[in-house]
A and B are shown apart, each in its own frame.
Chain A
Amino acid sequence: MSEPILRVENLVKHFREGPHTIHAVNGISFEIHPGEAVGLVGESGCGKSTTARCIMQLEKPTAGRILFRGQDLASLTPNGLRSQRRHFQMVFQDAEESLNPRLNVRRTLREPLQLHGLYRGEEQLQQAAERVNLEPEHLDRYRHQLSGGQKQRVGVARAIMTQPPLVVLDEPTSSLDMSLRIHMIAMLRRLQRELDMAYLFISHDLSTVRHLCDRVLVMYLGRIVEMGRTEQVFSAPRHVYTRALLSAIPIPDPSVRRERIVLQGETPSPRWIKPGCGLQDRCPLVADECTRPMPFYALGGGHWAACRLAKPESAERALGVAGSM
């Protein structure tokens, strides 16, 4: 196995909000290997974007370490961090907001190259535009002259200008129509292979994750509850939360009938974190042991789930939607 390009070790991020503490991320650990696309999925407030911002050093972790190619990013000087930034880049959710309205596409794409002393000439910019299916004339346009899909492609082109081995993508398709989404995902897949990049793809849209990512991490209430190869997690989810999440997504096919696992109520406030499984107040299959800290159970082939039903001796293991998904 290759050395991981990114290792997140026991990451914790808490925010102060008046007298309260928001427990956004509560001790998560994972690795990303070179050339691998990893999906980080969960609903709003699960801590997935905070995790991305900690990795990008846009937030200072409360505890834990972020190791990029074995190096603790928190130990770098501001200059050292700046020179490392060409190796890990981010695509933001709001393409509109993330583009400078006063810069045309040419200058937007040239800037990261100039910052890192990599600018050689115009053909680099034309090649970059071509990579994301933009025409050469788009280089002269400003933000307000681009469609939503084009803006998002400029955001991707800018992030990969320095050919970074790791790109963090925060919900890059959430504002796109379905017909643009499939082209975006196909493009990201192609770029990932052409430039041999690793992705951390943050999304609440599990359909895109299934078609883009090699591995997937499922987050709930600041913790990873299940992880594994995409096919394993989607075809045989083991954590009740993952099963409920997958079964809640309406399938555009009237001939498919599925059993739905309905979660009670809403995600509890991240102000008060109980020991044990985060899902205990909403889970239809909750038991006493769920109120105590839940270990990860290995399911083979790198598939892990922190749920009592994933225990090897669990009789209820095969219950529910697993078979029909």
Chain B
Amino acid sequence: MSLPLLRVEDLSLTFATDDGFRHVLDRVTFEVHPHEVLGLVGESGSGKTITSLAVMRLLPHSAQVRQGQIWFDGRELLALPEKDMRRLRGSSLAMIFQSPRSALNPLMRIGDQIARAVRTHQRVRGAAARAAAVDLLRHVGVPDAAVRARAYPHQLSGGMAQRALVAIMLACRPRLLIADEPTTGLDVTIQAQIFGLIKDVQAETSATLLLITHDLGVVSEVCQRVAVMYAGQVMEVAPVAELFARACHPYTERLLGSILRVDRSGDLDTTKALSMAGISYETRGCRFANRCPDVMPVCWERRPRPVQVSAGHEVICHKYGGDES
């Protein structure tokens, strides 16, 4: 097995709130291997976006890292001076955000924004950089690229703005790309185009991709491995086919049981779905305990240790005998 490009290890993080600290991440651990697409999947409040912001070191000020490390290519990111971190962002680590328009500079033509990325990360200057920017726009499927390069972000549709961001990303040639719900708010036919593009770009540059999503359909079609998060804890990590065929964690089972599939009828069975109880960040043990159909007394007390159920398939659940580490 190759060394992981990214390893998040025991990451715990709190947010200051009016009534004390909220433990938003609890000992989050996972790895991303070179050239793979790892899906980080979870519902609202699972901590998936915060995890990715921690990797980029773009956390809001109210967030405080309590423990853990983030290893990227042999370096511990949390210990890096901001100056070094800034050098890594863009060139080695890049992120595509949920709302593409807010990630672009509204006062700059998109061609110039792409050209700036080209100048910063490749040895190209002036007109050559601008020509490279137009080429990149054409490459990501923007029609009339030379004309569109002169447009400002507000003149682009959401799909076009996301393509422009992918073009910037291509100019940067990062080793790890983090995409956080990159198609939120886009229509499904445009979503299919964008994921097609991201997959092509990933294959062509052999970049490593960490894809953050709530959509298990996207996981199934785009990812090779998946880490399932709930309430700030990683519950299960598995190859994609394995997860859909043999989900082990009661949360994953219930999540899969909550799916309404478009390609078949008769899924409206709520007995296999997640209960409507709210998410809880309180317990010292497994945070799914208050909604878990198989809960045991120990689940409230202690966090289980990861147990390997098959090659590359880990579950963090007391049902499988994992005990406190």
Whether chains A and B associate is yes
Which of the residues B157, B256, B276 comes within 8 Å of A183, measured between beta carbons?
B276
How far is the CB of B156 from the nearest CB of chain A, in Å?
Answer: 10
**Interface status of A74 (Cβ within 8 A of chain B):** no
Count, A-B residue pairs, CB within 8 A: 121
**Interface status of A263 (Cβ within 8 A of chain B):** yes
Q: Interface SS of chain B: helix, strand, loop or mixed?
A: helix
**Interface status of B188 (Cβ within 8 A of chain A):** yes
Is B273 within 8 A of A179, CB to CB? yes
**Interface status of A253 (Cβ within 8 A of chain B):** yes
Which of the residues B217, B241, B258 comes within 8 Å of A250, measured between beta carbons?
B217
Is A325 within 8 A of B263, CB to CB? yes
User: Could you give, for residues 221-242 of chain A, a 1 whenever the CB lies within 8 Å of some chain B CB and a 0 otherwise?
Assistant: 0000000001100100000000
Is A210 within 8 A of B265, CB to CB? yes
Is A251 within 8 A of B262, CB to CB? yes
Question: With a CB–CB cut-off of 8 A, which chain A residues contact B258?
Answer: 178-179, 181-182
**Interface status of B83 (Cβ within 8 A of chain A):** no
Which A150-197 residues sit within 8 Å CB-CB of chain B?
177-183, 185-186, 189
Which of the residues A147, A181, A325 comes within 8 Å of B260, measured between beta carbons?
A181
Interface hub of B43, B221, B241 (most chain A Cβ within 10 A): B221
Which of the residues A44, A177, A189, A256 comes within 8 Å of B268, measured between beta carbons?
A189
Q: How large is the interface on A (under 10, 10 to 19, 20 to 34, 35 or more residues)?
A: 35 or more
How far is the CB of B228 from the nearest CB of chain A, in Å?
Answer: 13
User: Could you give, for residues 98-128 of chain B, a 1 whenever the CB lies within 8 Å of some chain A CB and a 0 otherwise?
Assistant: 0000000000000000000000000000000
How far is the CB of A100 from the nearest CB of chain B, in Å?
Answer: 24
Compute how far the CA of A210 lies from the CA of B188 in the bound complex, rounded to whole angstroms.
Answer: 16
Q: List 16 A-B contacts (CB under 8 A).
A: A133-B276, A178-B214, A180-B276, A204-B188, A207-B262, A245-B189, A246-B262, A250-B192, A250-B217, A251-B261, A253-B244, A260-B192, A262-B193, A265-B143, A266-B157, A267-B187
Chain A residues close to B by CB (< 8 Å): 43-44, 133, 147, 149, 177-183, 185-186, 189, 204, 206-208, 210-211, 230-231, 234, 244-246, 248-256, 258, 260, 262-263, 265-267, 325
